[in-house]
Structure 1
Amino acid sequence: MPAAESPSEIFDRALRRKRRDRAARAYESFVRDHMLEGISERLEGVNRRFRDVLDLGSFGGGFELPGASITRLDAGSIWAAGGTQGEEDQPHFPDASFDLIVSAGVLDSINDVPGALALARRALRPDGLFLGAFLGAGTLATLRACFMAAEADRPAARFHPQIDVRAGGDLLTRAGFALPVSDVETLSVRYASIFGLFRDLRGMAATNLLPGAPPLTRGTLARAAREFAERAGADGRTAERFEIVYLTGWAPDASQPKPAKRGSATASLLDALKPKPPEPR
């Protein structure tokens, strides 16, 4: 059953499902492919064999792991073919169902990110691994600036709130993950026009999902396109940024390393910071 809409929610759930299904007709996967490559690189450093995997927000798939059984969940009905359709911040699986959960490209458009991460931790077995990637703070900085200039008199809510890398780590801790790590990587893409960027965003299902957003007028669009073109380099193309935040966290287990107890240090920080006496000549 679809999740109930709430007036306090950030994103329009029905519109999100519609946009994801529309994107299936002309899916632009390069950002998610980049995320999956980063997730695979982080997996290479883990000396573990994962057998039961959840691809959380699967789009058209793309994530594969030899020897593993992969369950896929997506909010869109087309992407969920052969898997499970549902919202990532709603419960769908029993606790301790998986030993690895990956999520590429969806956490930035989920209404309840802390809830989604808490559900992911519960769905992991003890010492199970979560690897996530999403578009974070700083993404679409050029496009934001263009619309701020185009709508200087009456700016409209056209861009989603964004999560930075530090907040991402805090969210992992809040959800109960052990050994949380967050890091960020910048992907820069050059566009001949603002309309090429729009086409890619539609293909990623990454357009505006804020409820009640005013329609885009021809005048605003023309001014934004002009602002975008004025920021072009010598090659006639304008650079846009995609800031990819990666999250790594483990479901707690007694076998994991623990931080040292408070007061157990054998050296004093104050002594370490004192200036050393000059060496005798």
Structure 2
Amino acid sequence: MVNKIFTNPAIVTAFPDVWRKLWPDAVFVDDSDVLALKEGAHDLVVHCLGLHWANDPVGQLIQCRRALQPDGLSLTLCFGGQTLHELRSVLGQAEIDVTGGLSPRVAPMGEIRDLGALLQRAGLALPVADSVQLKASYGSALNLMHDLRAMGETNAMTARLRKPTRRAVLLRAAELYMKTYGDNDGRIPATFEIITLTGWAPDASQPQPLRPGSAAARLADALGTHEKPLKD
């Protein structure tokens, strides 16, 4: 938990109207490759669920860090690797069953260990990565895909198949989805993993790691145990 009042927030998002209801006084910036953020102008920069579209994720975080005042907070929300894993699985199997081939249908999302490393590469201090999985319920896989299209989350990968997806593939995917993941009420789940990345703009007031060998007390004494040297 962060016990701090932020007075100059900036929100990086493709959907400013959604966030403006929650934070009307914030500066809103489109999540393009070059962020329209003023250097050192904000004590909080929130990057909202757009990092998976970025051509340069590290560059996005570096731009957020540069926009922060000393000891300002960078808060990034992004989709994790478990997002839509059910849909990815059934679309792949359906395409194999119908066409005998396989092409990428759902964009890959970063794993938490890899995304957490981006914070250090971006020069942010005190990095923390956390994850939560949310389950949405749908009447069918076709309803889910309709929602994803409405969200603008369709397949934009350069390696994707350029021809329209055959109807037989979609129907087979819907059948497999219900058979594999459907519940007793005839509905299907869709997983959305939200990863939260937090890091701070470096400042002299922040805790610093001690120099190796500078400890004033022994860990063995604190634990009440006997220290034994390791054998060669």
1:244, CA displacement in angstroms?
0.6
Tell me which residue corresponds to 1:36: none
Tell me which residue corresponds to 1:61: 17
Residues 148-174 of structure 1: CA deviation (Å, up to 9, x unaligned): 211223111212121111112110111
Aligned length: 220
Pairing partner for 1:224 from 162, 166, 173: 173
- CA separation in 2, counterparts of 1:200 and 1:264? 57
Deviates more, 1:55-64 or 1:174-183: 55-64
Q: Against the structure 1 CA distance between its residues 239 and 261, is the aligned structure 2 distance closer, same or farther, given a 3 Å change threshold? A: same
Q: Kindly report which structure 2 residues correspond to 1:16-165, keeping only aligned pairs within 5 A, or say none.
A: 45-63=1-19, 69-75=25-31, 87=32, 89-152=33-96, 153-165=100-112
Q: Against the structure 1 CA distance between its residues 132 and 234, is the aligned structure 2 distance closer, same or farther, given a 3 Å change threshold? A: same
- CA separation in 2, counterparts of 1:68 and 1:261? 44
Residue pair 2:16, 2:28 contacting (<8 A) in 1 also? no
Tell me which residue corresponds to 1:207: 154
Deviates more, 1:239-248 or 1:156-165: 156-165
TM-score by length of 2: 0.85
Q: Against the structure 1 CA distance between its residues 123 and 60, is the aligned structure 2 distance closer, same or farther, given a 3 Å change threshold? A: closer
Residue pair 2:30, 2:36 contacting (<8 A) in 1 also? no
Residue pair 2:92, 2:105 contacting (<8 A) in 1 also? no
Partner AA of 1:235 in structure 2: D
- CA separation in 1, counterparts of 2:24 and 2:118? 28
Asked whether 1:267 is paired with 2:218, we answer yes
Deviates more, 1:208-217 or 1:56-65: 56-65
Helix, strand or coil for the counterpart of 1:151? helix
Alpha-carbon RMSD: 2.5
Pairing partner for 1:173 from 105, 120, 136: 120
**Structure 2 unaligned residues grouped into runs of 5+:** 228-232
Partner AA of 1:247 in structure 2: L
Residue pair 1:140, 1:241 contacting (<8 A) in 2 also? yes
Helix, strand or coil for the counterpart of 1:154? coil
Residue pair 1:129, 1:248 contacting (<8 A) in 2 also? yes
Asked whether 1:191 is paired with 2:138, we answer yes
1:275, CA displacement in angstroms?
7.2
Residue pair 2:44, 2:68 contacting (<8 A) in 1 also? yes
1:66, CA displacement in angstroms?
8.5
Q: Against the structure 1 CA distance between its residues 191 and 67, is the aligned structure 2 distance closer, same or farther, given a 3 Å change threshold? A: closer
| Identical-pair percentage | 37
Helix, strand or coil for the counterpart of 1:230? helix
1:186, CA displacement in angstroms?
0.6
Q: Against the structure 1 CA distance between its residues 268 and 193, is the aligned structure 2 distance closer, same or farther, given a 3 Å change threshold? A: same
1:229, CA displacement in angstroms?
2.1
Q: Against the structure 1 CA distance between its residues 154 and 196, is the aligned structure 2 distance closer, same or farther, given a 3 Å change threshold? A: same
1:65, CA displacement in angstroms?
9.1
- CA separation in 1, counterparts of 2:197 and 2:69? 18
1:107, CA displacement in angstroms?
0.9
Helix, strand or coil for the counterpart of 1:223? helix
